[in-house]
Amino acid sequence: MLLHVRGVLSPEELIDIREGLAAADWGDGKATAGKQSAKAKHNLQVPLDHPAHRALGEVVLRALGRNALFNSAVLPLRVVPPLFNRYDVGMRFDVHVDNAIRPIGPSGGARVRTDVSSTLFLTDPAEYDGGELLMYEARGVQPVKLPAGDMIVYDTTVLHGVAPISRGSRWASFFWTQSMVRDAGAREMLFDLDQAIIDLRRRLPDDDAAVLSLVKVYHNLMRQWCEL
């Protein structure tokens, strides 16, 4: 899965988050990296104990909660509280894979399996050069650079990195989700089926036999594949 989710944040939410980040203190991004990725990570991050971290993360979580495309594609069970990073000139994140298990709170007691990764862009492409999110796929390296307020969603199993910044500053929120459906192939099939049902319901009444049949199949597959 490599899904572009448009307009996750409203213009007002984007302004609020950017103002909050502009006033925040930034620390070394290695603080939340694993042993291998810490060697590859060269960026700044809002510390987990900074007041802005929780407040701005709540804005992102509320936006996710109302986003139908994200919920259809990811089928979230638990979301790691969103983090915020910054890449200034010369900063980068070399190729790496995210940890399979992440703590969900500052104590580290509660943990999630990272099935899906998301990067929510907070600066427009015109504000910086470089800084593409690089997805290392079988067909080659795919660069991703989205408008502010848009988000890219991808399977956490994929190797990825961030290209060096040569001008400006790139800000983003990033986080991981444990899906109700562990298997990536099953999630993609459910997403395709859900989108087909949504399209069909635009053209047919909800009590149409074809609509009801597909809805039944969708929910029965959810019963079979979901883990709660």
pLDDT per position as a tens digit, 136-161: 998 899 999 999 999 999 999 999 99
- Tell which of 144, 161, 179 closes a domain: 179
Q: How many domains is the chain partitioned into structurally? A: 2
DSSP SS3 for 39: helix
pTM of the model: 0.94
> Could you tell me if 156 and 47 lie in one domain?
yes
> Could you tell me if 78 and 102 lie in one domain?
yes
Chain-centre distance for alpha carbon 175: 5
Which CA distances in Å does 24 have to 20, 46, 54, 128, 176? 6, 7, 12, 20, 22
> Could you tell me if 158 and 78 lie in one domain?
yes
Which of 82, 87, 84, 83 is closest to 42 using CA atoms?
A: 87
Q: What pLDDT sits at residue 31? A: 76
- Tell which of 179, 198, 213 closes a domain: 179
Instruction: Assess contact for 73 and 153: CB atoms under 8 A.
Output: yes
Tell me the average pLDDT of the chain.
95
> Could you tell me if 46 and 135 lie in one domain?
yes
Size (the chain), residues: 228
96 is known to lie in a ligand binding site: yes
Q: What pLDDT sits at residue 39? A: 83
> Could you tell me if 154 and 216 lie in one domain?
no
Which residue range(s) make up the domain with 216? 184-225
> Could you tell me if 101 and 87 lie in one domain?
yes
> Could you tell me if 137 and 200 lie in one domain?
no
> Could you tell me if 22 and 89 lie in one domain?
yes
Residue recorded with tokens 């890219």: 152
> Could you tell me if 200 and 89 lie in one domain?
no
> Could you tell me if 132 and 166 lie in one domain?
yes
pLDDT for residue 108 is more than 70: no
Q: Which two tokens stand for residue 85?
A: 């990073």
How do residues 167-177 score in pLDDT, each as one tens digit? Answer: 999 999 999 99
Largest CA distance in the chain: 58
| CATH number, domain with residue 64 | 2.60.120.620
> Could you tell me if 113 and 210 lie in one domain?
no
> Could you tell me if 166 and 213 lie in one domain?
no
* Cα(163)–Cα(168) distance, integer angstroms: 13
CA-based torsion, 194, 197, 201, 206: positive or negative:
negative
